[in-house]
Every structure is written in C-alpha cells, then in structure tokens.
Amino acid sequence: MGETILPPKEALQLISGSRLTKAQKLLASSLVTQARSFKYTFPGKTESLLILDVIHFLNHKVNTRLIDAIGEELAQVVTPFSPDVILTAPSSGNIPAISTSLHMDDMPDVIYAPKGIPITMQKVFQAQSHSYTHGKTVDLTVSQEVLSEGERVAICDDFLDTGKTALDLINIVNQAQAVPVVFFFVIEKPYAGRERLIEAGIPAENIISLIKIAEMREGAIKIAGFSEWFELARK
C-alpha cells in the first residue's frame, strides 16, 4: 500500500520536532503512548464501531498537566467569541470545559447537562442524545433556571465525532432562546462531525478542535498535518 507506519518511539520523535503547539504535542504524544483504537460490536448489533480509548489520560484518569495545557490553548481561541457560559455533556466534556474557563479572563460558568431529570430540577430543557460508547439513548437535561434567553453559549466536548451530541446541545440552547457562538473540542475524529455542524448552519471558523485525527484504524491513527500513520503503543 506504500503507507508509512511509525512505531511509537519514532512517532514521538516526529511529534516532538514538529510545529505543533505545546498542548498539541502533549496530546498527540499521549495518544501514541496511552490510547488504543479497536472495533467493538454491541450485543444484538451486527455493525461494529471503531472506538478510540483515551481513559488513561483524558476521560477517566485525567492527566492534569495535559488538561491544563489544553485549557490554556483552547481559552485563547474561545475568548474572542465572548461566551457568557460554556455548555457541555457529562461527564467527559466537564473537565476540558472547566479547564478552558479557568484560563479565560471572564471565567464563564460551565453548565453540564446531566442524563435524566434530577429531583433538584423542576422546569427543564431536554434533548435526546445517543451515546455510542454506552450504546443507548439518554435525555440530556438543563434547568431553565441556569440557561437564560439571549446568553452567548460556547459548546464543549472531549470529542467531535459524528456531531450528534453537539447538535443535541444546540437543541437545548435553542429551547432556551440562547445563542450558540462557538463549538470547541479536544479531539476531532474522522466521522464527518464538522460537516454535519456546517450543514446545520454553524460557520466553519466557529468550530474549533485542538487536534484532528485524519484517519483511524485498529491500532493506528493518522493525525492531521502528518503523512505518516502512528502505531499506538496500547493494544
């Protein structure tokens, strides 16, 4: 096939010498050394999904130095949109959302949309959202008391994959008659999520991802900006 697949050690050397930013280098290196990609078929289904597992540094065990660097760089590109609040879907979106806010001068509050209606909420905005990693549909919920008409909303998540979760959060923002102003993600996967958001009327320049995976297969990824495939250390 003529493809170059670099083993982890060589991939790390290439990343280190690249023009990526500090946070991008830390994230790309974490992907190579601690992520894994694998196919999974849910019980009762015939189609398998290609999963990117980042539980060792991003959405289960969190590398605090990495997330601080991620938040610092995302804050620089989110700040010009002047959001009043940051809205995210739990639980994996909470940490990059909070880290980003802490590096912004205005430190906008973060709203996360729990699954279902807690007994502490009365009037709510809701949107159904399908979780691919859990294999089920959930109701994302935001209290009407915390999201107000006219507020400028930044929408955050750890991954941009199909774009479905972001569209579900837009649904909630629209119910509140608030204004979605920017969408930002830690990792963008090659599942046409950006294209779906653009089709929904979101300007391309309002969709931000720290790092983009151009292609993915079992055991290897290709990061945008590199021609080589990177073999992942975890199997």
The whole-number mean pLDDT for each consecutive block of 10 residues of the chain, a chain of 235 residues, reads 88 98 98 96 83 95 98 98 95 94 98 88 90 75 97 97 95 98 98 96 98 97 97 95
Question: Three-class SS of residue 105?
Answer: coil
pTM of the model: 0.94
192: helix, coil or strand? coil
Q: Kindly give the interhelix angle for 94-102 and 64-78, rounded to the nearest 10 degrees.
A: 60
pLDDT of residue 154: 98
What type of residue is 62?
V
Which CATH entry fits the domain spanning 5-231: 3.40.50.2020, 3.20.20.100, 1.10.357.10, 1.10.1660.10? 3.40.50.2020
Q: Which pLDDT belongs to residue 133? A: 62
Say what the pLDDT of residue 134 is. Answer: 62
Distant-in-sequence, close-in-space partners of 3: CB < 8 Å, separation ≥ 6: 229
Helix, strand, coil share (%) of the chain residues, nearest 5: 30, 30, 40
